[in-house]
Amino acid sequence: MLSRYWLRGRRRGGRRDGETQRIYVDRYTSVEVALAAAVLVLALADVALTAIHLAHGGEELNPLLAAVLERAGVAGLAAVRMAVSGLALAVLLLHVRWPLARHGLVGLCTLHVALLGWHAVVAFDRTIV
């Protein structure tokens, strides 16, 4: 994750020759940084589009988030969604050189793209009706 060495640390790979997986690093590759930034931007877009959807009479389909929406409003919903995405992203970045975590990071990005696709379908359906 972020340490005091994340901008100037030297550890980009393993300490010994041949160590490439199941290691912790101080610095991330440009692909890893791009995926993490994409997840954050897509999560923010998802929150914004959800708020627009709710303002037009839509409903939250996730029962846990619907309960948060009922108790804390749209701001609470946005805070919880960003916290969950941020926490998942932090854990995945910490273990990014582990095969399952790398697939998880790509999967999280793909999941957010699918959510934005769902928002597009809902918005298109709303304009037709």
d(CA 93, CA 104): 10
Residue 7 domain flag: no
The total domain count for the chain is 1
- Taking only the tens place, the pLDDT of each residue in 12-54 is 555 556 665 666 776 788 898 899 999 999 999 999 999 988 9
DSSP of 82-129, one letter per residue?
A: HHHHHHHHHHHHHTTTSHHHHHHHHHHHHHHHHHHHHHHHHHHHHHH-
d(CA 50, CA 47): 5
This prediction has a pTM of: 0.77
Residue 3 domain flag: no
